[in-house]
Amino acid sequence: MIAVTRLNGNGMVLNSDLIKTAEASPDTMLTLINGEKLIVRETCAEVMERVITYRARLLARVAQHSEAHGGFERMAAVASLGVEDEYQVFPDPEANLSPRRG
């Protein structure tokens, strides 16, 4: 989440994962993944810096917590496991027992 300021001076907190694009025209217009557009006082560079700072804090927390749960290497190894279906996060072990056709 990042803090931004609307043109009218009202502050708001925005989920930075929802930002699709940021354009300077001349005000900064953020286009969200749902198509909504927000005009904010911050420059594109300031928005980018806030997003990077927020994500760096998140990664630092993950690294701290991972040390207590087997280390970052273990988490990376689990994350890199291949699955046949890109949307299947937890593959069904029984599915591999049936013969494949094709």
Residue 84 is classified by DSSP as S
2: exposed, middle or buried (Cβ count in 10 Å: 0-12, 13-18, 19+): buried
Of 72 and 49, the one with more pLDDT: 49
Structure tokens at 6: 């609307």
State yes or no: pLDDT of 89 exceeds 50: no
| φ and ψ at residue 91, rounded to 5 degrees | -65, 145
State yes or no: pLDDT of 74 exceeds 90: no
State yes or no: pLDDT of 7 exceeds 70: yes
